[in-house]
Amino acid sequence: MTLRPHPCLLLVAALLFSVPAVAAERPAPPLENLGLVYRNDSNPVLQEAWLLGRYHGQWHWADGSNGEDDGYEDRRYRMGGQARMFDRLTLHVQMVSGSDFEPFYNGFTELWAAWRFSDAFVLTVGQQKHRFTHDRNISSRYINYLERSMLTNMFAADYTPAVTLSGRAQRWSWYGGVFSNKTSRDMKDAFTELDSGYSLLATVTRDIGDYVPTDSAFLNISLVHSDANANATNLDHFDQGLASALILTQGPASLVTEITAGLGADDGDAIGLNLQPGVFVTRWMQAVGRYQLAGSDEDRGLRAQRRYERLAGLDRGDLYQAGYLGLNFYLAEHRVKLMTGVEYATLGGEDCWTGSLAVRIFWGPHSRGPFPMAQVLEPAFD
């Protein structure tokens, strides 16, 4: 493997030495304001301005019963900016590079404007994220694993032009809207050539801490209907999806339990269970596990993860199981972390071992929501 510098690392280095000092009532986590350019809530025009982006790089080794693969991948590189204006308007833009920077400019993941009428009613228009399933809703900045679950990825949800409404009130929060099923590197085409069909998404989250005796407890339910056609590039596998997740934390420990169903695919319906336990052993180290179980009513209704598993010989089948164990090292909480893990998966009579070592860096404002969004837990040992 040849080591080489990347533009993202130069940008991160510059940010590390240029983070402005911002007053706080309590000590902030390391690099808490990485990317913050300006903040002044008393300014009637511009309240905040951020540089934002992320770099995710990872090495993998996969050994399967039908092949093997290894190598380093520049998995994600994004950069852009966000501004909060007039106490109501948020503008967000973020370009994306292709894998291994091929090409360096590969369109935009997000290009949207949001107007906050109230905390309970926020209108967002533009290219934005499909948030079907808790697994998908959690930003890649915060996920505890190398990749999201196999069944989540089979939905092929990504960033597309959309009109959405979101909000929160008391113990409830919600998000939903109508999405195009296609995007493009040419954003003019993405916003004007709406010929791919559409998808409807609705998700609601309830803080159920008043019913469950844990430090935090949330129940998330999400639905999606996709009317994709031959031009679609996103959400073009299942016609309908339903997911329900229970998210619990207690002291240093967390447990996410999610059941997801995909219906109406040409090669069969599917249902899956995704269990994600974890514990912060120290303030800097988290031990995580994951168990996936998925089944289909057709012999070839499930497909292995595109990254790593397919390259090592896993392909299709009707029963998928995978177990993951890993350690995550928080050098600056979620801002800078290292992730290591080993996963064993079986599908269609074949199996695969995958080992990984990953670096995760991001700068910009945090996203908030149920664990693990922008959260680390109090450790078992100081």
Name the fold adopted by 7-363.
Porin (2.40.160)
Q: How far apart are CA 315 and CA 116, in angstroms?
A: 45
Q: How far apart are CA 146 and CA 358, in angstroms?
A: 7
In 4-95, which ranges are continuous DSSP H helix?
7-16
CA dihedral 16, 22, 24, 29 (to 10 degrees): -10
Give me the pLDDT at residue 188, please: 84
Give me the pLDDT at residue 24, please: 37
156, amino acid identity: A
Give me the pLDDT at residue 193, please: 87
Q: How far apart are CA 134 and CA 308, in angstroms?
A: 23
Angle at 374 between CA 369 and CA 377, to 5 degrees: 100
In the chain, which ranges are continuous DSSP H helix?
7-16, 134-137, 150-154, 187-192
Give me the pLDDT at residue 27, please: 60
Q: The dihedral of CA 138, 140, 143, 147: what is its sign?
A: positive
Contact 59, 72 (CB under 8 A): yes
Helix, strand, or coil here: 262?
strand
Q: How far apart are CA 343 and CA 353, in angstroms?
A: 6
Q: Residue ranges per domain, the chain? A: 7-363
Backbone φ and ψ for 61, nearest 5 degrees, come out as -135, 120
Q: How far apart are CA 359 and CA 29, in angstroms?
A: 19
Backbone φ and ψ for 70, nearest 5 degrees, come out as -155, 160
**Residues forming beta bridges with residue 20, ordered by sequence position:** none
Backbone φ and ψ for 104, nearest 5 degrees, come out as -65, -45
Rg of the chain on CA atoms, in Å = 21
Q: How far apart are CA 156 and CA 196, in angstroms?
A: 14
Q: How far apart are CA 2 and CA 9, in angstroms?
A: 16
Q: The dihedral of CA 202, 97, 149, 249: what is its sign?
A: negative
What DSSP string runs through 301-347? -EE--TTTTGGGT--EESEEEEEEEEEEEESBTBTEEEEEEEEEEEE
Q: What is the pLDDT along the chain (382 residues), one digit of tens a residue?
A: 444 445 444 444 444 434 443 333 446 678 999 999 999 999 999 999 999 999 999 999 999 988 899 999 999 999 999 999 999 999 999 999 988 999 999 999 999 999 999 999 999 999 999 999 999 999 999 999 999 999 999 999 999 999 999 999 999 999 999 999 998 888 888 898 889 999 999 999 999 999 999 999 999 999 999 999 999 999 999 999 999 999 999 999 999 999 999 999 999 999 999 999 999 999 999 999 999 999 999 999 999 999 899 989 899 999 999 999 999 999 999 999 999 999 999 999 999 999 999 999 999 999 989 999 999 999 999 7
Q: How far apart are CA 216 and CA 125, in angstroms?
A: 32
Contact 124, 163 (CB under 8 A): yes
Query: Residue 367 gets which letter from DSSP?
Result: P
Q: What is the pTM of this model?
A: 0.89
**Contacts of residue 14, Cβ cutoff 8 Å, sequence gap at least 6:** none
